[in-house]
Amino acid sequence: MEEEILQSLIKLIKGEGEEKNIEGRCEVKETEKTDVELLDAYSRAVITVVEAVGPAVVSVSVGIKSKGNETEQIGSGSGVVIAPDGYILTNDHVVHNAQQLSVTLTSGITLPATSVGVDPATDLAVIRAEGSGLPYATLGESGLLRAGQLIIAIGNPFGFQSTVSTGVVSALGRALRSQQGRLIENIIQHTAPLNPGNSGGPLVDSKGRIVGINTAIITMAQGIGFSIPSSTAKWVVSQLLTYGRVRRGFLGITAQQRPLSRRLVRFHNLKSDFAVEVISIMPDGPAAKGGIRKSDLIVAINDKEVTSVDHIHSFLSDWPLGKVVRLTIFRGQERLEKEIIPSEEGT
């Protein structure tokens, strides 16, 4: 009897004989193979993307000069090479106040780098490593993303290089505040786990195209990550490479949101109960030259409703410098139209 059992076991190991009488065997049933095949396809897709894009992801080290002219590292993050001649896209908050920069490739090679330009308003920055022929990734179209779509985040959390996490797009069109206070629009919310050090790394779709730059984590909230869309990154990169800065228009005012009286809303048939109140005006600034006064209430720009300072920032970010805009304002009970030519912010 024992010999028969032994022979059956040998046949089973060799894959011979009938298996239908063997109970307790751990295997995938035929009905479950489809699911396994799908998981294998998912794994292969992720592996293909990581092998293609991973070499373009770098670790960014930030240093300052200390006493004795020695360099002290004060921070690190991630970045992604977007051109073979060393241009790297990362976060502004990663390289902010850096006096010395270096990047480490997946091969372990460390290269010195310099800042090309930063944009605190979108938390994006471009730096350039001293090198050529570097592996690079392509900026894709974030506008084609859909909720539920597979995405892959690659970065260097806690200094662990080339760390991969996957998830799906949770929502599109979110908004976050930058450290400068401006609203960053069209943020991608996703479930790919992010940790400190992931900032500046790419968010990639299943075809290996960069659809976002990872930027923020909500502490104590699991499964929520945020990335700046590639559509924003493309525009910022083009501005930084062309001008060394992002050129935006401004009106030369400080302002705040203010509720409107019901009487004013009804009398003028306004769509919103809120406007933007002018708190102060820069002398000789665009608003001052256009006749705007303190306490004026801005309700529209070029007939587009304005209910917050964010609306003004958003409009001016897309408006050509030097082109006239028309403000609809209330001064007391009087409705007025004022033409203003925005100038470049910071000039």
116, 128 contact by CB (below 8 A): yes
Is the pLDDT confidence value at 226 over 70?
Answer: yes
**CATH classification number, 54-129, choose in 3.40.50.300, 2.60.40.10, 1.20.1260.10, 2.40.10.10:** 2.40.10.10
Annotated catalytic residue: which of 123, 296, 313, 317?
A: 123
Is the pLDDT confidence value at 22 over 80?
Answer: no
Of the listed ranges 70-74, 100-104, 306-310, the least confidently predicted one is 70-74
As a CATH number, domain 249-344 is 2.30.42.10
Both tokens of residue 299?
Answer: 């309700």
- Give residue 19's pLDDT: 47
E strand or H helix that includes residue 4: helix 2-14
Report which of residues 276 and 162 the model is more confident about.
276
- Give residue 344's pLDDT: 86
In the chain, the amino acid numbered 235 is: W
Average pLDDT in the 81-91 region? 94
Domain borders along the chain are 54-129, 142-243, 249-344
- Tens-digit pLDDT profile for residues 252-274: 999 999 998 888 888 888 888 89
Q: What's the rounded Cα separation, in Å, for the pair 62 and 166?
A: 27
Is the pLDDT confidence value at 128 over 90?
Answer: yes
Q: What's the rounded Cα separation, in Å, for the pair 172 and 228?
A: 11
298, 279 contact by CB (below 8 A): no
142-243 shares the fold of 54-129: yes
Annotated catalytic residue: which of 59, 76, 115, 199?
A: 199
Residues 6 or more apart whose CB falls under 8 angstroms from that of 6 comprise: none
- Tens-digit pLDDT profile for residues 281-312: 999 899 999 999 999 999 999 999 999 898 89
- Give residue 282's pLDDT: 92
In the chain, pLDDT over 70 holds for what percent of residues?
Answer: 86
- 238 catalytic residue (yes or no): no
**CATH classification number, 142-243, choose in 3.40.50.300, 1.10.357.10, 2.130.10.10, 2.40.10.10:** 2.40.10.10
- 313 catalytic residue (yes or no): no
Query: What Cα–Cα distance (Å) separates residue 288 from each residue in 255, 276, 293, 308, 340?
Result: 14, 16, 7, 20, 9
Is the pLDDT confidence value at 223 over 60?
Answer: yes
- Give residue 193's pLDDT: 84
Q: What's the rounded Cα separation, in Å, for the pair 229 and 231?
A: 5
Is the pLDDT confidence value at 28 over 80?
Answer: no
What DSSP string runs through 100-131? EEEEE-TTS-EEEEEEEEEETTTTEEEEEES-
Of the listed ranges 155-169, 210-224, 295-309, the least confidently predicted one is 210-224
What DSSP string runs through 262-329? HHHHHHTT-S-SEEEEEEEE-TTSHHHHTT--TT-EEEEETTEE--SHHHHHHHHHHSPTT--EEEEE
Find, among 185, 184, 183, 181, the residue nearest to 173 by Cα: 185
- Tens-digit pLDDT profile for residues 4-13: 655 655 555 4
Residue 345: pLDDT band (50, 70, 90) is confident
Is the pLDDT confidence value at 23 over 50?
Answer: yes
287, 275 contact by CB (below 8 A): no
Find, among 49, 51, 72, 48, the residue nearest to 62 by Cα: 72
Is the pLDDT confidence value at 96 over 90?
Answer: no
Annotated catalytic residue: which of 61, 76, 93, 311?
A: 93
Average pLDDT in the 71-100 region? 88
Residue 26: pLDDT band (50, 70, 90) is low
Average pLDDT in the 332-343 region? 92
- 35 catalytic residue (yes or no): no
- Give residue 30's pLDDT: 58
